[in-house]
């Protein structure tokens, strides 16, 4: 979900793994991954959900995601307007039809969804430290410096966030975001420019993935299709392309 999920990873020193294709990736056909925000908001993240049985969203200070149960319901566009309000911008994933009359089309972009394969070798990182409410200012700052995607003051409540500090300063970060049942998304992967090409982002991704697997979940990631360096880095770690998707941005009728 670019602007909702543009993640940046360092190049790594790992050899090119021999991992399955997207079609062979474990659980690559899991239905919840076709609509991960909806299945998060009706599942493990239901406590954050605002909305009803057709459209739901996170609180503004948690995440910008708006989820739709199905695009086949003719009431969905009116429900979206009621949910976010008149004249409001909204980002939508996997939109299957153009915006209706009265909506303003603000553009969009192409993204990819990646899932872990058996080649992924997650492991805890001794230098990684847990991040929480006391670290929000630093987390917001590193996101502002690196632009991995949206991060709000309460985004850290969605899952576990970790970082690496050097001389007391947070220089790298990664964490958990969308949580459809059985899966957890790795996101907010950020490394300051002076510390790139040291493998810090890859180490944090592997640590986050390790704890995801310890809970019995599997890891997924999203990235802008144009972010080819990040995608290649994630593939070297053992992630595989599951699907491409389209993200649309619009404004509700006033």
C-alpha closest to that of 149 among 67, 218, 65, 89 = 65
DSSP helix/strand/coil, 99? coil
Mean pLDDT value across residues 8-17: 42
Mean pLDDT value across residues 69-88: 95
Quote the pLDDT of residue 9. Answer: 44
Question: Could you report the per-residue pLDDT of 30-75, keeping only the tens digit for each?
Answer: 789 999 999 999 999 999 999 999 999 999 999 999 999 999 999 9
Quote the pLDDT of residue 95. Answer: 82
- Domains of the chain (ranges plus CATH)? 22-29+113-245 (3.40.630.30), 31-110 (no CATH)
Bridge partner list, 66: 57
Per-residue pLDDT at 13 exceeds 60: no
Per-residue pLDDT at 239 exceeds 80: yes
Each as own residue / partner, the long-range contacts of residues 121-125 (CB below 8 Å, 24 or more positions apart, any chain) are: 121/206, 121/238, 122/206, 122/207, 122/208, 122/209, 122/210, 122/212, 122/213, 122/219, 123/206, 123/207, 123/210, 124/207, 124/210, 124/211, 125/162, 125/164, 125/203, 125/204, 125/206, 125/207
Cα separation of 113 and 22, whole Å?
10
Quote the pLDDT of residue 1. Answer: 53
Mean pLDDT value across residues 100-126: 95
Quote the pLDDT of residue 93. Answer: 86
| Longest Cα–Cα distance in the chain | 56
């Amino acid at each position: 979900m670019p602007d909702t999920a543009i993640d940046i990873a360092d190049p790594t020193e790992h050899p090119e793994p021999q991992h399955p294709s997207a079609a062979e990736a474990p659980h690559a056909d899991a239905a919840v991954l076709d609509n991960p925000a909806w299945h998060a908001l009706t599942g493990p993240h239901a406590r954050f959900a605002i909305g009803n049985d057709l459209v739901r969203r996170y609180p503004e200070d948690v995440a910008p995601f708006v989820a739709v149960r199905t695009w086949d319901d003719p009431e969905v566009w009116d429900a979206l307007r009621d949910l976010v309000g008149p004249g409001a911008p909204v980002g939508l994933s996997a939109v299957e039809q153009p915006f209706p009359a009265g909506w303003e089309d603000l553009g969009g972009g192409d993204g990819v969804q990646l899932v872990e394969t058996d080649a992924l070798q997650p492991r805890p990182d001794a230098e990684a430290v847990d991040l929480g409410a006391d670290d929000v200012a630093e987390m917001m700052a590193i996101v502002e410096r690196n632009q991995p995607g949206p991060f709000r003051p309460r985004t850290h409540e969605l899952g576990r966030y970790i970082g690496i500090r050097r001389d007391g300063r947070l220089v790298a970060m990664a964490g958990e975001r969308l949580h459809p049942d059985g899966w957890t998304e790795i996101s907010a992967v950020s490394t300051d420019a002076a510390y790139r090409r040291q493998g810090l982002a890859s180490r944090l991704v592997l640590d986050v993935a390790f704890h995801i697997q310890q809970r019995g979940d599997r890891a997924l990631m999203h990235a802008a299709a144009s972010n080819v360096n990040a995608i290649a880095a994630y593939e070297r770690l053992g992630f595989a392309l599951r699907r491409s998707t389209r993200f649309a941005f619009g404004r509700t009728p006033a």
